[in-house]
Structure 1
Amino acid sequence: MSTLPSDVSLLAGITASLRKAGCVFAEEEAAILAASARSAGELRAMAARRADGAPLEHVVGWAEFAGLRIAVAPGVFVPRRRTEFLVAEAARLLPEHAVVVDLCCGSGALGAALHAAGKGVELHAADIDPAAVACARGNVRGTVHQGDLFEPLPARLRGRVDVLLANVPYVPSDQIALLPSEARDHEARTALDGGPDGLDVLRRVAAAAPRWLAPRGRLLVETGEHQTSAAVAAFTAHGLTVHVASAPDYDATVLIATLPRPHPAHAEEA
């Protein structure tokens, strides 16, 4: 920006306005805004948007995720730090030259991070939200499809997916109103609302996944700790074996479902 970060009075004023608005990490956020703004006027405007409740990532246009800078547009789901645990688990299981699919991809952060961690990855991502798709196309080194879950994917991927990431919405509908304003008012509801018990989209993914996974292919999904038993049941009902991984440091629960053997649906759907 044209105004130097050493302009103590300007930064002090920005920090004070953010702190007054309730930003817990006001000094750190002020520094990020200052590094992103191209002028003092732009910095003030960005700080005003943040003070009004816009997510910091939407204001500056990017989010840090798994060591990457991911472009994030207004209205697009901001990747959470807890989801880095899902990516780490997927990377641990990733074979060379894997076919990877990132469903409900949002900004494409998960697919981008896993692509960076792998070797020779063929990556496909999909989301129903046009804004998310446009954002992901700028982040993902692969093909981004627009549509509902598996519907837009090429048929040639059936039975070939080695790692399927599905960061599905899992907040119960009646709890959306309890979310922080940054999520509730600034992210697409389709990226948050998982239906009455939060598992509607997860069940749809579980039902269709065996037709797309390769033998011994893995499906990784993040869910709430209190939803684990019901989510496991949804996967096992469709012939998947499930391992539950948790990381208290991330406040994250990830289900890793495996297709143990060729599924009859492969032949029917090919």
Structure 2
Amino acid sequence: MSIDPSFSLRSATVSRLRAAGCVFAEDEAELLFTTAHDSDELDTMVARRAGGLPIEHVVGWAAFAGLRVAVDPGVFVPRRRTEFLVGRAVSLAGPGALCVDLCCGSGAAGAVLLSAVPGAEVYASDIEPPAVRCARRNIEPRGGRVFEGDLFAPLPDRLRGRVQVLVANVPYVPTDDIGLLPPEAREHEPRVALDGGSDGLDVLRRVAAEAADWLAPGGHLLVETSEQQAARAVETVTGHGLTCRVTGSEELYATVVVATRP
């Protein structure tokens, strides 16, 4: 069920959102109209959005790579640029591929792999309990498994040396730059999902140190980073015995390091 708004309600809603600084006020208003069941719920949702809550947290989901991914309050919102990372992962995963989604957040990457790769076997992990609960809603009904813990630690040991596609959407914002992020991110998403340490590469270093042990021969590690960090990210990964290339999308403002175990 959704609301069929009058012209005056539509105009008033857009005005409230625009006054709150919502750049895409018209699009967000339409989304709220199609989500709210009645005028009271609409008013509550508009107030939450105007108060700075990410639109995905307000409506409870995000559109990502053709899927509607559940996103709970306090969980990292999957970015559109990450569709490029996941698209590269799908292109490298053959039918039945064993895939891992590290730092999975909502589980968006794992959900896409399960939906797009025939017979894919997907395991995911995250250290944040709210993210794990959310990821289980997105991944496990599609046949994957989600574990709570730090990076590789909670994964079944039997996966070592067998992973064909390892997606690690690690946090890569330098600590001193966290304050420059939009309020939606820095106030409503977990810091652990954003903060990559002094140079933004702390978590990548930890992933790279263990990746070769988990990848199958010829298996791939895919990591999103910034264009400015790409060269140092490549040095970090190649230092652990993987070969690397950098690819990107100008349209999505995305940079991805693709590393392969020889």
TM category (shorter chain) comes to: over 0.9
1:153-210 deviation line (CA, Å, top 9, x unaligned): 0000000000000000000000000000000000000000000000000000000000
- State the secondary structure of the residue aligned to 1:81: coil
TM-score when scaled to structure 1? 0.95
- The Cα of 1:108 is off from its aligned counterpart by 0.2
Q: 1:163-202 alignment to 2 at 5 Å? A: 163-202=165-204
- 1:147 equivalent to 2:149? Answer yes
Asked whether the equivalents of residues 5 and 11 of structure 1 are also in contact (C-alpha less than 8 Å), the reply is: no
Q: Could you list the structure 1 runs, at least 4 aligned residues long, displaced by more than 2 angstroms after superposition.
A: none
Q: 1:193-212 alignment to 2 at 5 Å? A: 193-212=195-214
1:33-61 deviation line (CA, Å, top 9, x unaligned): 01111110110110011001100000000
Unaligned ranges ≥5, structure 1: 261-270
Paired AA for residue 42 in structure 2: L
- 1:80 equivalent to 2:82? Answer no
- What is residue 112 of structure 1 aligned with on the other side? 111
Could you tell me how far apart the structure 2 residues matched to 1:155 and 1:128 are? 18
- The Cα of 1:6 is off from its aligned counterpart by 3.5
- State the secondary structure of the residue aligned to 1:64: strand
- 1:35 equivalent to 2:54? Answer no
Q: 1:223 aligns with which of 203, 217, 225?
A: 225
Paired AA for residue 92 in structure 2: L
- State the secondary structure of the residue aligned to 1:225: coil
Asked whether the equivalents of residues 70 and 139 of structure 1 are also in contact (C-alpha less than 8 Å), the reply is: yes
- State the secondary structure of the residue aligned to 1:253: strand
Could you tell me how far apart the structure 1 residues matched to 2:5 and 2:155 are? 50
- What is residue 266 of structure 1 aligned with on the other side? none
Could you tell me how far apart the structure 1 residues matched to 2:136 and 2:91 are? 25
- What is residue 8 of structure 1 aligned with on the other side? 7
1:233-269 deviation line (CA, Å, top 9, x unaligned): 1111000000100110110000000000xxxxxxxxx
Paired AA for residue 256 in structure 1: V
Could you tell me how far apart the structure 1 residues matched to 2:216 and 2:113 are? 18
Unaligned ranges ≥5, structure 2: none
Q: % of aligned pairs identical?
A: 62
1:50-93 deviation line (CA, Å, top 9, x unaligned): 00110000000000000000000001000000000011111111
Asked whether the equivalents of residues 104 and 149 of structure 1 are also in contact (C-alpha less than 8 Å), the reply is: yes
Paired AA for residue 152 in structure 2: F
Paired AA for residue 250 in structure 2: P
- What is residue 46 of structure 2 aligned with on the other side? 47
Q: CA RMSD in A?
A: 0.8
Q: 1:226-241 alignment to 2 at 5 Å? A: 226-241=228-243
Aligned length: 259
Could you tell me how far apart the structure 1 residues matched to 2:94 and 2:24 are? 39
Larger deviation, residues 110-119 vs 152-161: 110-119
Could you tell me how far apart the structure 2 residues matched to 1:6 and 1:186 are? 29
TM-score when scaled to structure 2? 0.97
Could you tell me how far apart the structure 1 residues matched to 2:249 and 2:155 are? 31
Paired AA for residue 169 in structure 2: N
Could you tell me how far apart the structure 1 residues matched to 2:18 and 2:160 are? 51
Q: 1:57-72 alignment to 2 at 5 Å? A: 57-72=56-71
